[in-house]
Structure 1
Amino acid sequence: MSALAQSVDDDGDVVAALHALSELRRQADRREAMLVRRARARGLTWAEIAVLLGVSKQAVHKKYGGSRREARTP
């Protein structure tokens, strides 16, 4: 477990724990976006990605863009 994740579980400073949780969420969102782009580049469908993320196809497609955004992604 990373130090950042450990600080979320800490029973001490709730302000620090909330800050750490917020940063973990930002990091997870960035990592998820990168992995979705990589999955699409490797041929996975929106439906396959949605199953892996535990969301609907529509939710993942809306969040990560569909064809218009894919066309702009190098």
Structure 2
Amino acid sequence: MSVNADLEQALHGDDLDAGLRAVARLRRLVERLEAERVAAARRAGWSWRDIAVRLGVTKQTVHRKYHRLLEG
């Protein structure tokens, strides 16, 4: 089964356990992708504000979440 088929099954299927596990996997993937892209943007010289605008959050939110990991 493809990833898209797995996601469709999780979204529309009757197996609540599988659906919730899929949500947890997606959340971890999104968190990792965000962290990697934020780190790349900072290395490229982007400001916290520039990153926050793209993520649709406040500068304070993105700074609080990542500044220790990236500048600590």
**TM-score (norm. length: structure 1):** 0.81
Q: Which runs of 5+ in 2 are unaligned?
A: none
Aligned to 2:25: 23
CA distance in 1, matches of 2:45, 2:59: 15
How many pairs were matched up?
70
Contact residue 50 and residue 60 of structure 1 kept, 8 A: yes
Q: Which runs of 5+ in 1 are unaligned?
A: none
What is the CA-CA distance between 1:7 and the residue it aligns to?
3.5
Percent of aligned pairs sharing the same letter: 41
2:48 matches 1:46: yes
CA distance in 2, matches of 1:33, 1:60: 10
**TM-score (norm. length: structure 2):** 0.83
CA RMSD, Structure 1 to Structure 2 (Å)? 1.8
Aligned to 2:7: 5
